[in-house]
Amino acid sequence: MATATPSVDLSEAMITTVTPAADWVIVLPLVLALMGAALLLMLRQKRGIAPIVAMLAVAGIIACEVMLLAKVLQVGPVSMTMGKWLPPFGISFTADIFGAGFALAASIVTLILLVYVQGEREPGDGSDGFYSLVLLLLAGVTGSFLTGDLFNLYVWFEVMLIASFGLIVIGGQPIQLDGAIKYGFLNFLATSFFLLSLGLTYGLLGTLNMADIILVAPSANPAAMAGVAGLLLLAFGMKAAAFPVNAWLPASYHTPPAAVSALFAGLLTKVGVYAMMRALVVLLPASRDLLEPLLASIAIASLLIAPLGAIAETNLRRALGFFVIGGIGAVIAGIALPSLHGIGGAGFYILHAILTMTALYLVAGLIERLTGQTDSRRMGGIYAAHTPISILFFVLMLAAAGVPPFLGFWPKLLLLEAGLAQSGLREGGAVDYLSLAIVVALLANAVLTLIAGSRLWAHIFWRAGPEGELSEHRSGKLQPLSLREARFGLGATTVLVAIVVLAGLMPEDLFTAARMGAGDMIDPSRYIAAFGLAGGTP
Amino acid sequence: MDFVLAIVVGLFIATGSYFLLSRSLIRMLLGLTVFGNGVNLLIFTAGRLTREVAPIVPTGLDQPDGPIANPLPQALILTAIVIGFAMFSFLLVLAYRAYQSLDADNTDTMRVAEPEDSPRPPLSY
């Protein structure tokens, strides 16, 4: 049915030109991940090819994201709108430096993890849908990092959630079901809260497009917007496991196999805290200013309580779960200090946490393989039996605590700089005690994390054997890694740790990128311009 | 009409939250569903209500003839309902499976992942 030539000019509301081929790199990662997941589902009875297909798909995603990141670094944020309607009517995908960078880090981590699981799983077996679900999870994570629409963000959150539900129960052990129930209920509640604040945003502003929200929000009722921002803070705080709503994380992250919990620890909470940063710093900066004391208190509490939890915990992966929460506290500290250094530090910290936390859980998986135990009281003597693993764990523990020259030190340096600048201590005059408290909490977090981590290291690796064993002889209970485990498991972990170490030794480019990304977050004019809103550029 | 629906949304959210405070998994599930439906109703109301005018552009015109109902919230809710139903089904099966293998419907007795008599932290360094 050919319609007659329209009598109105459509160019104000519709895209009349074909999308340039180069813009497709922004949606191709998602297309590859979703198509790959569907293909793997169809191929799951065929033995041997599932891991290869999954790795090829992720490699393709990495290639697209490298191109995307190069483009963003060159020309600033890029955007592509689906369908023919211009935003705010069409749904946009928009990548800035942080979004593209985190998406790239997430897919690199996923590729390494796919290699790692070859040592754990039966060779070539994908019949339980594991590879499919990993790709779906990656699709959800990438979509959340790259979307430019609030409702679309909700959809990607749910994609991520249902994929993680599947991954956490694969195997069906009672402990997994227990963890899955706590994880499932609380995360579903968090996304319901997100949907609630989304509905209110739509009611108040009449739009859900991110660029449009930035433009319309200042004219809305500030009290109502602050309420919406508070709800968003609750929803994303629950997803990110920030202090008062963090209980689900140590209750569930240690229950699935180590590879799955590594994926969760590296990606899921980071998406939550990235969404918090995007919503509060970019979309609703006026409401963020109102919520600043609350944000600072949440950051301080998370920073202090998390490592104390790790000190009190004996289960290895549960203790690592508290490290994850501490990292979230550091990112929220950056959100509470909205300067170039603060936001840059928060973004840099997210990158560090994606790499380091995944690597820590991967090493924990190797330790559990080696000892056959999950509790650190029944581990010991690995230093003599398997020195490489002890070195990997030691390096990662220092990186997590933020000891120079490892990766965790640099974002914390930026955050400390931002806190000191905001406190006004150096200029003299009025002192902002809340910023000063954040600085103290960041330093205390580093010391406490170091205590918790080095004690774990001392117990698992340094002492002669499990608790109570006094023998100086090598413990006979350790099972050496099989050839597959050593080749794939240890190999993949070593590669990831090498990335962490190299990035820590050469942080110059990361600093530049963090500064540019933070600049686009604080002054989003380039970000808004990338959308090309209907009715001309603002 | 809007304010009546706003009150209903409040009632839904309150009921959902009350059920979620229960220790029984089935009640918690019901709570999540009621909560989710309250949220869907909220989005519906947030789009402003217009009675009995379908959002259809008549043939031969470029824009609708007079005010029409807002179609966007309906699209949003439809998505949210589908997603919410999928999550609900998964959690229902999960709760049943947990009841079978953990023999627990009460979250207080579900302590496999976090044992109740967890040991004291080691004192040695």
CATH 1.10.287.3510 matches B2-51+69-107: yes
What is d(CA A141, CA A266) in angstroms, rounded to the nearest whole number?
11
Integer CA distances (angstroms), A141 to A21, A62, A318, B77, B124, in order: 24, 14, 23, 23, 41
Which of B26, B43, B106, B107 to mutate against chain A (most A CBs within 10 Å)? B43
Residue with the larger pLDDT of the pair A355 and B118 = A355
Shortest CA gap A178–chain B (Å): 6
- The candidate with the shortest Cα–Cα distance to A253, out of A322, A303, A302, is A322
Shortest CA gap A203–chain B (Å): 4
Q: Closest residue of B to A200, CA-based?
A: B46
Q: Which residues contact A48 (CB under 8 A, 6 or more apart)?
A: A123, A124
What is d(CA A103, CA A96) in angstroms, rounded to the nearest whole number?
11
**How far is Cα of residue A63 from the mean position of the Cα atoms in its chain?**
20
Shortest CA gap B4–chain A (Å): 16
Residue pair A179/B110 in contact (Cβ under 8 Å)? The answer is: no
What is d(CA A269, CA A407) in angstroms, rounded to the nearest whole number?
19
Residue pair A402/A412 in contact (Cβ under 8 Å)? The answer is: yes
Please name the member of B32, B97, B113 whose beta carbon is closest to the beta carbon of A179: B113
Q: Give the pLDDT of residue A428.
A: 74
Are A251 and B114 an interchain contact pair (Cβ–Cβ within 8 Å)? yes
Which of B107, B114, B116, B120 to mutate against chain A (most A CBs within 10 Å)? B114
Q: Give the pLDDT of residue B68.
A: 83
- Inter-axis angle of helices A222-240 and A174-205, nearest 10: 160
Q: Give the pLDDT of residue A66.
A: 95
Please name the member of A181, A199, A467 whose beta carbon is closest to the beta carbon of B94: A181
Q: Is the pLDDT of residue B20 over 60?
A: yes
For chain B, the domains span 2-51+69-107
Q: Closest residue of A to B43, CA-based?
A: A199
With b meaning 16 or more CB within 10 Å and e meaning fewer, what string describes B72-97?
bbeebbebbeebbeebbebbeebbeb
What is d(CA A378, CA A469) in angstroms, rounded to the nearest whole number?
10
Whole-angstrom Cα Rg for chain B: 22
Residue with the larger pLDDT of the pair A14 and B88 = B88
- The candidate with the shortest Cα–Cα distance to A219, out of A230, A207, A231, is A207
Residue with the larger pLDDT of the pair B118 and A390 = A390
Which chain A residues are Cβ-neighbours of B36 within 8 angstroms? 192, 195
Q: Closest residue of B to A152, CA-based?
A: B76
Q: Closest residue of B to A312, CA-based?
A: B121
Which burial class, exposed, middle or buried, applies to A8 when counting CB atoms under 10 A from its CB (0-12, 13-18, 19+)?
exposed
Which chain A residues are Cβ-neighbours of B25 within 8 angstroms? 181
For chain A, the domains span 21-469+476-530
- Tell me the pTM: 0.94
Geometric angle at alpha carbon A380, from A374 and A382, rounded to 5°: 100
Q: Closest residue of B to A206, CA-based?
A: B47
**Predicted complex ipTM:** 0.94
Residue pair A518/A340 in contact (Cβ under 8 Å)? The answer is: yes
Which chain B residues are Cβ-neighbours of A162 within 8 angstroms? 86-87, 90
pLDDT in tens, chain A (538 residues): 444 455 566 666 777 777 777 788 899 999 999 999 999 999 888 878 889 999 999 999 999 999 999 999 999 999 988 877 888 888 899 999 999 999 999 999 999 999 999 988 877 777 888 999 999 999 999 999 999 999 999 999 999 999 999 999 998 899 999 999 999 999 999 999 999 999 999 999 999 999 999 999 999 999 999 999 999 999 999 999 998 999 999 999 999 999 999 999 999 999 999 999 999 999 999 999 999 999 999 999 999 999 999 999 889 999 999 999 999 999 999 999 989 999 999 999 999 999 999 999 999 999 999 888 888 888 888 888 888 999 999 999 999 999 988 999 999 999 999 999 998 887 777 888 999 999 999 999 999 999 999 999 998 988 877 777 665 555 567 788 888 888 899 999 999 999 999 999 999 999 999 999 999 999 999 999 888 886 544 3
